[in-house]
Amino acid sequence: MKLLRHGSLGAEKPGLLHNDGTMRDLTGLVPDIGGAVLSDTGLAMLRGIDPESLPVVPKATRLGPCVAGTGKFICIGLNYSDHAAETGATVPPEPIIFMKATSAICGPNDPIIIPRGSEKTDWEVELAVIVGTRAKYVTEAEALNHVAGYAVTNDVSERAFQIERSGQWTKGKSCDNFGQLGPWLVTRDEVADPQNLPMWLKVNGKTYQDGSTRTMIYGVAHLVSYLSQFMTLHPGDVISTGTPPGVGLGQKPPHYLKPGDVVELGVQSLGRQRQDVITDLA
């Protein structure tokens, strides 16, 4: 099942993708794609609805982030062995955890906004894990039972803010529109193996990232279990699991985004995104 949120910014409504390719509206049946709706019980209820009975959402309607009520946007750094190699970093002995502000979350096709003073805005296609039920001190064997599903995310990063301005990575990861999420939340029953998903990213039609979740150092089950030892995970929390090689920082010489660029990215079975790169005029 592919769940989505549609409508204007701040007024998104719940919906789903019918197998005929049309978006269908769930308004009135669930409050949103979040909270208890993400539990196994909530998802089972949605599976029992006949999509043919639901209103069609116009094709041109904006897609919002595919999950609502995200309390934590947790990111994992240097979690692909080949990406660590391209940056010259040592493979971490434990997952590197940092946070992205939830105010960075936006729709899958919303623009990448280059923040004021930025000269090194970069791209990162990633597999996002959407937490479905509360997880605290869970084992790796039971970890995936707490996952509602998966989505595509672009962990947009400003490298100078992240690396050269001292302190933690968070300020280079949390600018507005630095967290495109969607188009769909694909429920975990439709993803046979989250550790075998090809993923890609293009800038202006040129492929920069062409990888797979196979090269993750720490897999999804390990990450959910690991994080739950330090913080309680709640429904709607997002775990962005790292990126394969091919980021702008890793190019020789480094290559960063500029206004007018177009970024396209996707993960197999989870959909694709497209973003125009614009300047922050605020």
Residue 2 is assigned to a structural domain of this protein: no
pLDDT band at residue 85 under the 50/70/90 scheme: confident
Residue 12 is assigned to a structural domain of this protein: no
Residue 50 is assigned to a structural domain of this protein: no
pLDDT band at residue 81 under the 50/70/90 scheme: confident
pLDDT, residue 8, reads 97
Residue 28 is assigned to a structural domain of this protein: no
pLDDT, residue 185, reads 98
CATH at 165: 3.90.850.10
pLDDT, residue 281, reads 78
Give the pLDDT confidence of 134-144 residue by residue, as tens digits.
999 999 999 99
The Cβ of residue 194 has, within 10 Å, a number of other Cβ atoms equal to: 22
* Confidence check: pLDDT of 115 > 80: yes
This prediction has a pTM of: 0.95
Residue 170 is assigned to a structural domain of this protein: yes
Domain range for 230 is: 65-279
pLDDT, residue 140, reads 98
Give the pLDDT confidence of 198-240 residue by residue, as tens digits.
999 999 999 999 999 999 999 999 999 999 999 999 999 999 9
Give the pLDDT confidence of 182-198 residue by residue, as tens digits.
999 999 999 999 999 99
pLDDT, residue 11, reads 97
Which range (24-33, 144-153, 165-174) has the least confidence? 165-174
pLDDT band at residue 165 under the 50/70/90 scheme: confident
Residue 199 is assigned to a structural domain of this protein: yes
Residue 257 is assigned to a structural domain of this protein: yes
Number of domains in the chain: 1
* Confidence check: pLDDT of 86 > 90: no
Residue 29 is assigned to a structural domain of this protein: no
Query: Which distant-in-sequence residues (6+ apart) come within 8 Å of 93 by Cβ?
Result: none
